[in-house]
Amino acid sequence: MSATLQDERDEAIRMIRDSAVGIAPRAGDRKRIRALRFKSPGFDPAVWRQMGEQGWIGLRVPEEQGGAGLGMGAFCALAEELGAALAPEPLVPGALAARLLAAAGASAPLEALVSGEALVLAAWQERANSFEVPGTPDAPRLFLPMADGARSFLVPVRAGDGFSLRLQPAEGADLALEPTQDGGSYGTLRPAGGEEVGTVSAAQMEAALEEAALGTAAMLLGVMDQAFAMTLDYLRTRQQFGKPIGSFQALQHRAADLKVQIALSRASVEAAAAICDRGGDREDAPAAQRRAAIARAKARAADAALLVTRQAIQLHGGIGYTDEADIGLYMRRAMVLANQFGSAGLHRRRFAAAQPEVEA
């Protein structure tokens, strides 16, 4: 990447981070997050519209189709900020649907989605902990985040080597909801027809899912980074034996270990985003390289976020285990995000398949 292009990429990432401050500040008041927990639809439709107005939902959609046309570096930066702020609005699932609608050329539902007027969710998953899309016409579609707030569902159905995309209205749909640890919900949809809005290839489907997995890894990075920042602040202010507990060497060692985990996760996410932005489908960056980089980032972020948030609660002491303590909100979010778009174990297997050992 030339110096000029790198400067432009860095500036886009900086602007995206700055834009997040007005809607989802990292250290903002978490009263909004608590007020939305375990209530329908689990997020604020007004904030979703604001995200559309900011161009966030269509960040990865080409400009000629009404999107921002920015790269994965910018998208991951935004996802990290939203993860740090615990924003419950389903940006990554919405962006996945936007990518598929754009690839299919479905302009009307795409416009409603990227503007924030409606939430469209891609109903692709047919079994737990899977990254495959069988596209079975009548199979239940699982783990639809914040499905109670969706206007419609985008159901991929296998058609030859690709997929037919069917848009099924949420009104009247056979939808069952289950609460999640962080106060949101997952939906299980039983497909029932729907209007065909276009087709996508298997490669387009995989690329869209990989971007969603990387965006989720970036959200986990934001969750653990902010949880760690809150923990450091607590260690500096909590007094014991007349001095801050952060001065105790044993706690300093634990904090240093967590900082290393966050740094490694950040390096993995940023490296994967850079590979995507260089063009992961070109000869200079084969698809296997992109697949391996994203799998590594998601596996590392999932494991590290659970480790960091659990340790953060322990470092807060007894108060960290109460629901009133904000630090617990971060562990709950990490528990939900860790398995979205594939668990750490699944992505380790994907990494091994994409990067087989080479005998000397």
**Secondary structure of residue 339 in the 3-state scheme:** coil
What distance lies between CA 50 and its chain's CA centroid? 18
Q: Checking phi first, is residue 160 left (phi over 0); if not, alpha (psi -120 to 50) or beta?
A: left
Average pLDDT of span 305-317: 95
65, pLDDT greater than 60: yes
Q: What is the pLDDT of residue 123?
A: 98
Please state, in angstroms and rounded to a whole number, the distance separating the CA atoms of residues 52 and 131. Answer: 27
Residue 136 domain-assigned? no
Token pair, residue 358, equals 């080479």
Q: What is the pLDDT of residues 7-51, one digit of tens each?
A: 777 887 888 888 888 888 887 778 999 999 999 999 999 999 999
- The CA distances from residue 108 to 8, 120, 167, 359, in Å, are 31, 12, 11, 52
Residue 216 domain-assigned? yes
Q: Which CATH number do you get for residue 314?
A: 1.20.140.10
Residue 30 domain-assigned? no
Please state, in angstroms and rounded to a whole number, the distance separating the CA atoms of residues 114 and 19. Answer: 17
Domain count, the chain: 1
What is the band of 206 on the pLDDT scale with cuts at 50, 70, 90? very high
Sign of the CA dihedral running 171, 174, 175, 176: positive
What is the band of 360 on the pLDDT scale with cuts at 50, 70, 90? very low
Please state, in angstroms and rounded to a whole number, the distance separating the CA atoms of residues 350 and 345. Answer: 9
Residue 174 domain-assigned? no
Q: What is the pLDDT of residues 283-300, one digit of tens each?
A: 344 688 999 999 999 999
1 or 114, which is more confident? Answer: 114
Please state, in angstroms and rounded to a whole number, the distance separating the CA atoms of residues 45 and 227. Answer: 26
Torsion, CA 280, CA 4, CA 59, CA 17, rounded to 10: 120
Q: What is the pLDDT of residues 104-139, one digit of tens each?
A: 999 999 999 999 999 999 999 999 999 999 999 999
Residue 62 domain-assigned? no
What is the band of 249 on the pLDDT scale with cuts at 50, 70, 90? confident
Classify residue 67 by its DSSP letter.
S
Q: What is the pLDDT of residue 281?
A: 44
Contact (Cβ atoms closer than 8 angstroms) between residue 169 and residue 112: no
The pLDDT > 90 percentage for the chain reads 78
Contact (Cβ atoms closer than 8 angstroms) between residue 180 and residue 336: yes
Q: What is the pLDDT of residues 323-341, one digit of tens each?
A: 889 999 999 999 999 999 9
Token pair, residue 129, equals 């902990």
350, pLDDT greater than 60: yes
Q: What is the pLDDT of residue 66?
A: 94
What is the band of 231 on the pLDDT scale with cuts at 50, 70, 90? very high
Q: Is there a cis peptide before residue 134, judged by omega within 30 degrees of 0?
A: no
Token pair, residue 170, equals 């949420």
What is the band of 359 on the pLDDT scale with cuts at 50, 70, 90? very low
260, pLDDT greater than 60: yes
Residue 184 domain-assigned? no
Structure-token match 């697949």, residue found: 291
73, pLDDT greater than 60: yes
Average pLDDT of span 187-202: 95
**Burial of 177: CB neighbours in 10 Å, binned 0-12, 13-18, 19+:** middle
Alpha helices by DSSP H, listed for the chain, are 3-23, 31-36, 45-53, 72-84, 91-104, 107-114, 202-237, 249-279, 287-315, 327-337, 344-354
Average pLDDT of span 74-97: 97
**Secondary structure of residue 167 in the 3-state scheme:** strand
Average pLDDT of span 145-149: 97
Residue 168 domain-assigned? no
Q: What is the pLDDT of residue 26?
A: 85
Contact (Cβ atoms closer than 8 angstroms) between residue 327 and residue 231: yes
Which pTM was predicted?
Answer: 0.94
Q: At what angle do helices 327-337 and 202-237 cross, to 10 degrees?
A: 160
Residues 6+ apart with CB under 8 A from 16: 59, 70, 74, 77, 78, 81
Domain that holds residue 335: 204-354
Beta bridge partners of 243: 240
Starting from the edge strand earliest in sequence, which strands make up the sheet with 174-179, in order?
141-145, 185-190, 174-179
Starting from the edge strand earliest in sequence, which strands make up the sheet with 162-169, in order?
120-122, 152-159, 162-169, 195-201
210 or 1, which is more confident? Answer: 210
Residue 165 domain-assigned? no
* Closest CA relative to residue 150, chosen from 90, 63, 223: 90
